[in-house]
Amino acid sequence: MINVRQVQKKFEKELVVNIDEVTIEQGTIYGLLGSNGAGKTTFLKMLSGIIKPTSGTIVFEDEPIYENKRLKERVIFIPDQPFFFQHYSIKQLADFYREQYPSFNEARFNECERIFKLDTKKKVHTFSKGMQRQVSFWLALSAMPDYLILDEPFDGLDAVVRKKIKNLIVRDVAERNMTVLISSHNLREVEDLCNYIGIIHRGKYVIHRDIDDLKTDVHKVQIAYKTAPDDLFDAFNVLHHESRGSVHMFIIKGDLDIIEGYIHTTSPILYDILPLTLEEIFVYEMEGIGYAMDHVLV
């Protein structure tokens, strides 16, 4: 479990991360979303123990991450820019990872060789950007970390490679309860993978939610009346309402059975409850708390 409490990061006098409290349970695949400059990379670097918060605490299973060598052997961060020694080959880098990470797994390394099919003797700088990203995953996933922290991980990877990497990640979560954090600008890119989503805006959390809860908790109701009741859905948490003539569309947060039960008491001509995409849910949720989604995500 990762626990972040009262964490602030200032560069000079500028406050770029300001988080009250967030807990991420073991085995979660956590999508961290936000626009350019929202503070995602700074937050992930603090989580990885690379930079120190100006104030506050970040603990993994009750141990602070910063300057904690033993804990860092179980945590891998893949930054958005390739970081490794560009003039080394995959083989040489694997030797370095073997030294650095005691849980380095040879069977996994060989499996990745079959998946990525890159020449292990070639120097990394001679690979394309996407291939270099594959090398990062190859080494990271061979080290079998308990915590995998990924900054914009899928940029520059083609759809087939993305799918293969996602499969490996999901397998490690299922088999070893690995915890994964993934930052992205793009909800669609991570929604199939993540079971938790956090959205940060100007360094602060605006949403931190379980995706399954979100999907079962927000409903789109289309409903038509001869004469609609004046207090229609007044007692509910309505995130959004539109009407065209006698047809109304409500986005409502709450229990589906209670919403349907209420609808029956109002005798509509007809009604329909439609599924929402995750993106729609976020747009309405953010609207509900006073943010326009296009200011937060691009």
Ligand X SMILES: Nc1ncnc2c1ncn2[C@@H]1O[C@H](COP(=O)(O)OP(=O)(O)OP(=O)(O)O)[C@@H](O)[C@H]1O
CA–CA separation, 15 vs 203, rounded Å? 8
112 binds ligand X (CB under 6 A): no
79 binds ligand X (CB under 6 A): no
Q: Where are the strands (E) in 163-269, listed by range?
A: 179-184, 196-201, 204-210, 218-224, 237-244, 247-253
39 binds ligand X (CB under 6 A): yes
Q: Which of 11, 103, 188, 235 binds ligand X (CB under 6 A)?
A: 11
Q: Which of 18, 28, 41, 89 binds ligand X (CB under 6 A)?
A: 41
Q: Which residues pair with 84 in a beta bridge?
A: none
In terms of CB distance, is 66 or 262 closer to ligand X? Answer: 66
38 binds ligand X (CB under 6 A): yes
Q: What are phi and psi of 222, to 5 degrees?
A: -105, 130
40 binds ligand X (CB under 6 A): yes
182 binds ligand X (CB under 6 A): no
The least CB distance from residue 32 to ligand X, in Å, is 9
Q: Which of 31, 34, 49, 198 binds ligand X (CB under 6 A)?
A: 34
Tokens representing residue 30 in the block = 């956590």
Residues that bind ligand X (rule: CB under 6 A) add up to a total of 10
The least CB distance from residue 80 to ligand X, in Å, is 6
275 binds ligand X (CB under 6 A): no
36 binds ligand X (CB under 6 A): yes
Eight-state DSSP code of residue 58: E
In terms of CB distance, is 34 or 145 closer to ligand X? Answer: 34
Stretch near ligand X under the rule CB under 6 A, chosen from 32-40, 67-75, 123-131, 287-295 = 32-40
CA–CA separation, 60 vs 235, rounded Å? 41
Stretch near ligand X under the rule CB under 6 A, chosen from 33-41, 113-121, 134-142, 163-171 = 33-41
The least CB distance from residue 131 to ligand X, in Å, is 22
CA–CA separation, 124 vs 136, rounded Å? 10
278-297 exposure pattern, b = at least 16 Cβ within 10 A, e = fewer: bebbbbbbbeeeebebeebb
Helix pair angle (129-142, 106-116), 10° resolution? 160
Q: Which of 212, 189, 183, 214 is nearest to 33 (CA)?
A: 183
CA–CA separation, 39 vs 264, rounded Å? 46
The least CB distance from residue 41 to ligand X, in Å, is 3
In terms of CB distance, is 40 or 72 closer to ligand X? Answer: 40
Contact status, residue 261 vs residue 271, Cβ threshold 8 Å = no
CA–CA separation, 169 vs 55, rounded Å? 32
Stretch near ligand X under the rule CB under 6 A, chosen from 18-26, 34-42, 92-100, 133-141 = 34-42
In terms of CB distance, is 16 or 206 closer to ligand X? Answer: 16
The least CB distance from residue 11 to ligand X, in Å, is 3
49-to-64, 74, 150, 182 alpha-carbon distances in Å? 9, 12, 14, 16
User: What amino acid occupies position 125?
Assistant: H
The least CB distance from residue 8 to ligand X, in Å, is 12
Q: Which chain residues interact with ligand X by CB under 6 A?
A: 11, 16, 34, 36-42
